[in-house]
Structure 1
Amino acid sequence: MPSYKLYYFEVRGAAELARLIMKQAGQDFEDIRINGLTEWPTKKLEMPLNAVPVLEVDGKKFCQSMAIVRYLAREFDLMGSNNMEALVIEELLEIFTEITVKHLMKMYYEQDQDKKVEKMKEFKETGMPPYIKLMEKRLMENNDGKGFYVGDKVTVADLAIYNTMFNFKKWMGKEGQDPFEGSTLLNALYERVALLPNIAAWAKARPETDM
């Protein structure tokens, strides 16, 4: 079994889905959290492309968060049972990447708090609904939405939904702008994933951070 080290900053951020995968799989790994002010100027010189997250596998470092996620999902049998399930999972992962690039970054880096909340409101009302509609459709296509996102066992899709919803609930929810509010199906899935023993244990054990 390979040895794993995961390098990232002292937050959940772009490394958390990889952490969730390994926690769900029961895989031991070194969760190396870098202080952005004191350690990063030196540490970044050790990283491919001078960026994190980075996954080290048996001493070899690899970058790009979604490449890491896909590798780990395949490694720990969380990428579905066939190519069609994998396609549905890939579709979802690309949806979350698109949301991050097209919407999340614009909201997160807005310096004016009033404008930030306004962008959150616009995203909740007009930006997010098309994505939620498709996610709900896919969920309903699998066991009428009563089980997992695809197939009959947990996959990285379920972990990605849980991770994304947790972040939005924590960040936008405090402004009254949780974009998943009112989605009964997705919130029920969120609760099912939150109750998975390994995920519940990690949620209690992980450091409390704003993002």
Structure 2
Amino acid sequence: MVKYTLTYFNVRGAGELSRLIFKLAKVDFEDKRVAGEEWTKLKPDMPMGALPVLEVDGVKICQSSAIARYLAREFGLVGSTNLESLRIDEAHEVFTEMFTGELTKIFQAAKDDKPKLAKEFVEGKLLKYLDFFEKRLKENKTGFYVGNKLTLGDLLIYHVLGLLETILKGVEMKLDLSKRDWLQKVKTNVESNPEIKKWLAERPQTAM
């Protein structure tokens, strides 16, 4: 049996998508959460000196997106055709663009500038991203990102929406999905899965 260890900080952040994959697939893993001196000691042994890192039978792999895609392939969560897999890869790249572009600006901005930048993002470019995913979901017509069951695509959307809600809450704003019926269906489908529901109830409660 393969031994998996996911090392990350005690937050959802860039490690939570992989945790969700493990839980949905019902695959055991060590959820190793580090902080302070423990992280300082571990850091030199990490491939890029950063987290998350996945160990597969002792082999260390970094980069959150690569880890999530690997796990999804291993556990059969990338759709049933190459085209479905491509659509999930597309979703990953779109979200990467959003985070590395727009949200990084908000994170790095001075405290007093964050609300203004967040408001501009919510009322501007965020709409483009939400429109894109609403359209993709409407095209599939099942309430799932691809096919008719939960895949990495659904977990990815659920995870990112959760991060967005947390980020916007930090600047006293809300993520409005009231007119996004398909995105709401994804949230419902993910949260109603028994394995995910159990994980959401028992996982450590963290701010981010």
Residue matched to 1:23: 23
SS in 2 for 1:209: coil
SS in 2 for 1:176: coil
Distance in 2 of aligned mates of 1:107 and 1:181: 24
1:155-190 deviations in Å (ceiling 9; x for gaps): 100001111111212331461231545322212221
Contact 1:20 1:159 in 2 (8 A): yes
SS in 1 for 2:77: coil
**Deviation of 1:194 (Å):** 1.0
Residue matched to 1:182: 179
SS in 1 for 2:69: helix
Distance in 2 of aligned mates of 1:124 and 1:14: 22
1:62-95 deviations in Å (ceiling 9; x for gaps): 1111110110000000001001101110000111
Residue matched to 2:140: 142
Distance in 1 of aligned mates of 2:184 and 2:58: 39
1:64-83 aligned within 5 A: 64-83=63-82
Distance in 2 of aligned mates of 1:75 and 1:27: 11
> Where in structure 1 are there 5+ consecutive unaligned residues?
none
Distance in 2 of aligned mates of 1:150 and 1:119: 33
Provide TM-score, normalisation by structure 1: 0.93
Aligned residue pair count: 207
Distance in 1 of aligned mates of 2:163 and 2:177: 11
1:9 aligns with 2:9: yes
1:42-191 aligned within 5 A: 42-112=41-111, 114-143=112-141, 146-173=142-169, 175-178=172-175, 180=177, 182-191=179-188
Contact 1:165 1:180 in 2 (8 A): no
Residue matched to 1:207: 204
Contact 2:143 2:185 in 1 (8 A): no
Among the aligned pairs, what percent are the same residue?
Answer: 46
**Deviation of 1:41 (Å):** 1.5
Provide TM-score, normalisation by structure 2: 0.94
